[in-house]
Amino acid sequence: MRRFVTSTVRRYSTRNFTWWDHVRPAPKDPIMGVTEAFNADSSPNKINLGVGAYRDDEGRPVVLQCVREAGARIVGSQFLESNSAAVSSKMVEECVKLVYGKDSDVVNEGRFAGVQALSGTGACRLFAEFQRRFHPESRIYLPDPTWSNHHNIWRDAQVPSKKYHYYNFDSKSLNFSMLIDDVKNAPDGSFFLFHPCAHNPTGMDPTEEQWKEISYQCKVKNHFPFFDMAYQGFASGDPEKDARAIRIFLEDEHLTGCAQSFAKNMGLYGHRVGCLSILCTDSKQGAAVRGQLQQIARAMYGSPPVHGVLLVSAILSNPDMKSLWIEEVKMMVNRIQKMRMTLQESLENLDSPLNWEHITNQVGLFFFSCLTPKEVEQLAREFHIFMTHDGRISMGGVTTGNVNYLANAIHDVTRSGKEETKILCNVGV
């Protein structure tokens, strides 16, 4: 008997040995991989400019005062046993007011489906899944360039994606004419993803007039505009102003979708708190869409955690706490703006032969530099400065203490006037 068991086990374990042999290591994530490289570097001078997270002027992660106060208020609430339905519907209500306006008809008449989501990523993923289920033949148009994870999200949901023109790498500005052409030339009824403010990674947003034109052309073509609102407040310092692009689409009576995240503007990255909303023709349709979204979420992760949701609800539903939050957003944006100006001035004072005006022309958390992949690698190797391969610099990681070191390092890797950089930086402009 014993001999039988042993040989059976041996036979099975030989078979088990082959289960995962074909699994190859996944490529490193272009953003999270930067943090890994940063963590592995032992230099005291190292700087992490990779992930888009705000840091204070000492380089520390920030817990906003409004979040501390909200935390004190929710201590002892019954949320640990909650299945989150009641708490999340309160947060969803606050989220839609923040995006579409507290007095907007869609909110007052309940013409939307809103669900709590696992931050902006989770909201996009839910939407992508919903899009595939209910428009299986559709694809998503993504800006070129866009947040790298957009490609993964729609790919994993098996929705094909196509790029639309967004950025002109030569002039370092919005490629508006080609963007509009792409909107006009896409098949009627296409899905377009837009960043309504603080575009990631370019820091270049359309003007109000340009948004009006985009909205108009989307209307003519009957496209579905989907907004990924990951940085509300980070473009202008005012969350209300940063919602202007979406409000323009609302004025044009579009039905839109929106992914919201509080990872950056409330410093809640680790809580994964966000919202997905989809505008509908009436509240009955809203209820149907919401039910479908909830069903998709139920099979993927059950219900999302509620702690962060309680924090966000406490802040947005109390006028004093909301004002405090808005002040704190302004404070973060002012610090970033100051660092942009100092970085540009430092490079100019070093007599850089290149044009650095784009540092202060761009908005939001990111400076889309014109550094080449080779220069990005050199910065990591020789100066312990880490950023994504496309030369995106998270200004959240730039501080009074490291901005001159950064400027000197950038100057060092670019001053030999390498041809590629010269072309990208419009030398002499």
Residues facing 168 on adjacent strands: 173
Min CB(50)–ligand LMR separation in Å: 7
Query: Which residue, 30 or 353, has its beta carbon nearer to ligand LMR?
Result: 30
Please tell me which residue in 172, 228, 242, 356 is annotated as part of the active site. 228
Query: Which one, 11 or 155, has the nearer CB to ligand LMR?
Result: 155
- Determine if 146 is a binding residue for ligand LMR (CB under 6 A): no
Binding marks (x or -) toward ligand LMR, 211..230, rule CB under 6 A?
Answer: -------------------x
Active site residue 211: no
Measured from the CB atom, is 230 or 410 closer to ligand LMR? 230
Closest CB to ligand LMR among 52 and 196? 52
- Tell me which of 141, 147, 167, 367 binds ligand LMR, using CB under 6 A: 147
Residue 393 CB, nearest approach to ligand LMR (Å): 11
Q: Is residue 52 at the binding interface for ligand LMR, with CB under 6 A as the rule? A: yes
Smallest distance, ligand LMR to C-beta of residue 231, A: 9
Q: Is 264 a catalytic site residue?
A: yes
| Binding test (CB under 6 A) with ligand LMR, winner from 200, 232, 265, 402 | 200
Q: Provide the pairing of β-strand 224-229 with 257-261.
A: parallel
Among 48, 116, 146, 149, the residue binding ligand LMR under the rule CB under 6 A is 149
31 binds ligand LMR (CB under 6 A): yes
For residues 386 and 126, give the distance between their C-alpha atoms in angstroms, rounded to a whole number: 31
Q: Is 325 among the residues known to form the active site?
A: no
**The pair of three-digit structure tokens given for residue 135, joined into one six-digit string:** 């428009």
Dihedral angle of Cα 54, 333, 275, 157, to the nearest 10 degrees: -60
If one asks whether residue 367 binds ligand LMR (CB under 6 A), the answer comes out as: no
Instruction: Please choose, from the candidates 80, 88, 87, 93, the residue with its C-alpha nearest in 3D space to the C-alpha of residue 117.
Output: 88
DSSP structure string for 260-315? EE-TTTSS-GGG-EEEEEEE-SSHHHHHHHHHHHHHHHHHHHSS--SHHHHHHHHH
Q: Tokens 């839910």 sit at which residue?
A: 126
Angstrom distance (rounded) from CA 91 to CA 2: 61
Residue 296 pairs in a beta bridge with none
d(CA 54, CA 395): 8
Residues belonging to the active site: 147, 228, 264
Residues in contact with ligand LMR by CB under 6 A are 31, 51-52, 147, 149, 200, 230
